[in-house]
Structure 1
Amino acid sequence: MDALSERNPRVVSAVKLHRGAQRRKTRLFLAEGANSVAAALDTGRVQELFYSAGAAVREHELVASAAGMGVRTTLVSDRAAQQLGETVTAPGLVAVCALIDVPLADVLAAQPRMLAVPVEMAEPGNAGTLIRVADSVGADGVVLAGDSVDPHNGKCVRASAGSLFHVPIARHRDVGETLDSIAAAGITILATAADGEVDLDDADELFAGPVAWLFGNEAHGLDPAVTRRADHRIRIPIRGRAESLNLATAAAICLYANSRVRYAN
């Protein structure tokens, strides 16, 4: 089998998926690396799997599994693999996948008990980390509210380490409408705040019912108007001298505390 070069039309079309506009136009995106590709295959979203000669050796079982599922598997040159990937040392394994985001209404129709709702999240690495945390604690979905990062961005996909394919993810540009819909579904809205009236250590009763956690922008936090929409503001106790926590760390602490109560029995 001859390897496709970086000039092959299929490779060229796939490389264009690094751009958000092309992802929106085609409803496709790229998943790079063994973890992401394996998770994508489990969900049946892979349309084509590109692999280099090196990846054919390292990930033989994964490539064979994809072929066995009827996925088109395509050998590409090292140069083509480098262009398909976004990391400095490309893994040589890239899947073309159908977009994963679902309507907010679908997430709410499933009667979620725990949601993560990052608002105006701009950094794709943080978004991927939050999605990974949400997956690990057993959250029922992630809702990217406002002008947030595209979850199909390559850095987000890699940071999620496959979790992007495990957790329902919705995007809704209007923050007010997002909160209205969540509240109408009977879900308690919680916001993290340094001056919150409820200490996280004392919030177990709130976690007994369905909860949606609001997390703010990395640079500016939650807009005060958004914070006021929360039913309760939760304060993470800081017992050392640190002034604050970054977004991903705060989200992990809150979601794990929520998960501890939810899955206690």
Structure 2
Amino acid sequence: MTGRPDQEVMTNPRAERVRSVARLAGRSARLRAGAFLVEGPQGCREALRAHLGRGPAKARSVWPAGGVVREVYVSDRLAQRDPELAALVDEVASLRPSAAGLSHDDGRSPSGRRVAVRRASDEVLTAMSDAVTGQGILIVAALPQAMGLDQVLTQGRVRLAAVLCRVQDPGNAGTILRAADAAGADAVLLTTGSVDLFNPKVVRSTAGSIFHLPVVTGLSLDASVDALRQAGLQVWAADGHADHTLTSLASETLGSPTAWLLGNEARGLSETERALADQAVAVPLYGAAESLNVGTAATVCLYASAMAARRAG
């Protein structure tokens, strides 16, 4: 069961509540509300898990238990489509509100209010969603408190990080964040001029990975590079025209703590951005393709570092 069985199903796609949720697709509305949209089963699953305190430990300072999910809108068919996800919805709905500061360990939400779970028709879910069609569930989540790079570097050892330098395509940004999560990276950093991380297209592209690791936005690249070096990371620029390739690097060098600079889709890294790096490194191309897009190149680079580090033990 999701939502109260006696609760009226939302069926009017033009209702003001529906419109107010749909407006969260826009940046200004997100900032005013302090909230963003999470769409699709996997993204919603990870939002609910983070709210229950079950996300990765390195992300809990960003996504505290009880402070992630504000509202859940579900189709009556969710229980048949995805019983596990429906059970998570019911578990979050059952949390008792409590005063701020209480932990989830005693079964209560530290957010101080109950999560609203509402039943909605598929037409209403589609009207709320930024996606072409609704997928049986949609969540309104709270924007996290902004983190500084210093916080990330001092709360735990950072061995692998992705630095997005003016990456503006939502799909690419989401793909990089998802790849960083899969490769076991400790942080993702976005410089000024990069896409809004909480754009619905970015959130969808992460497939829930947005809730798995610290992300810092609005950074100055030169100051970030200095901080990363002081924290013991080498800083490499992913550049398709570089003389060094991943295959030419010694495994111990490749496996050392690394921050990868990843450039804009159309223009790549500028000369100034490349000059900040310790060295530029290319992904070797064995076929006839002229280049790789930044999302694919980032995945290869992050995994090369991660696998070398694991081989080194």
Q: Does 1:239 align with 2:286?
A: yes
Q: Residues 61 and 169 of structure 1: is their aligned pair in 2 closer, same or farther, counting only changes over 3 Å?
A: same
Match in the other structure for 1:64: 90
Alpha-carbon deviation of 1:86? 1.9
Q: Which moved more, 1:105-114 or 1:146-155?
A: 105-114
Alpha-carbon deviation of 1:170? 0.8
Output the CA distance in 1 between the equivalents of 2:115 and 2:79.
15
Matches within 5 A, 1:182-201: 182-201=228-247
The partner residue of 2:129 within 59, 65, 85 is 85
CA contact (8 A) 1:124 1:149 kept: yes
Match in the other structure for 1:105: 150
For residue 152 of structure 1, what is the amino acid of its counterpart?
F
**Percent of residue pairs identical:** 35
Deviations 1:110-143 (CA, angstroms, capped at 9, x unpaired): 2310000110011001111111111111000110
Output the CA distance in 2 between the equivalents of 1:18 and 1:201.
42
CA contact (8 A) 2:48 2:89 kept: no
Q: Does 1:166 align with 2:166?
A: no
For residue 94 of structure 2, what is the amino acid of its counterpart?
G
Structure 1 gap segments, 5+ residues each: none
Match in the other structure for 1:114: 160
Output the CA distance in 1 between the equivalents of 2:130 and 2:33.
19
For residue 47 of structure 1, what is the amino acid of its counterpart?
R
Match in the other structure for 2:100: none
Output the CA distance in 1 between the equivalents of 2:226 and 2:194.
18
For residue 63 of structure 1, what is the amino acid of its counterpart?
V
Match in the other structure for 1:220: 267
Aligned length: 265
Output the CA distance in 2 between the equivalents of 1:80 and 1:62.
22
Match in the other structure for 2:43: 36
Helix, strand or coil at the partner of 2:77? helix
Alpha-carbon deviation of 1:8? 4.3
CA contact (8 A) 1:30 1:96 kept: yes
Match in the other structure for 2:27: 20
Q: Residues 91 and 199 of structure 1: is their aligned pair in 2 closer, same or farther, counting only changes over 3 Å?
A: same
For residue 29 of structure 1, what is the amino acid of its counterpart?
F
For residue 219 of structure 1, what is the amino acid of its counterpart?
A
CA contact (8 A) 1:32 1:85 kept: yes
TM-score by length of 2: 0.79
Aligned-residue CA RMSD in angstroms?
A: 1.8
Matches within 5 A, 1:141-152: 141-152=187-198
Matches within 5 A, 1:197-212: 197-203=243-249, 204-212=251-259
Helix, strand or coil at the partner of 2:73? strand
Structure 2 gap segments, 5+ residues each: 1-6, 52-67, 96-113
Helix, strand or coil at the partner of 1:47? strand
CA contact (8 A) 1:49 1:72 kept: yes
Output the CA distance in 1 between the equivalents of 2:191 and 2:308.
26
Deviations 1:202-228 (CA, angstroms, capped at 9, x unpaired): 332323432100010011100111001
Helix, strand or coil at the partner of 2:168? coil
Output the CA distance in 2 between the equivalents of 1:222 and 1:243.
17
Output the CA distance in 2 between the equivalents of 1:104 and 1:83.
37
Output the CA distance in 2 between the equivalents of 1:107 and 1:209.
19
CA contact (8 A) 1:218 1:246 kept: yes
Helix, strand or coil at the partner of 1:221? coil
CA contact (8 A) 2:256 2:305 kept: no
Output the CA distance in 2 between the equivalents of 1:62 and 1:10.
24
Q: Does 1:94 align with 2:117?
A: no
Output the CA distance in 1 between the equivalents of 2:239 and 2:122.
48
For residue 263 of structure 1, what is the amino acid of its counterpart?
R
CA contact (8 A) 1:200 1:236 kept: yes
CA contact (8 A) 2:74 2:119 kept: yes
Output the CA distance in 2 between the equivalents of 1:173 and 1:113.
19
Q: Does 1:2 align with 2:8?
A: yes
For residue 155 of structure 1, what is the amino acid of its counterpart?
K
Alpha-carbon deviation of 1:263? 1.9
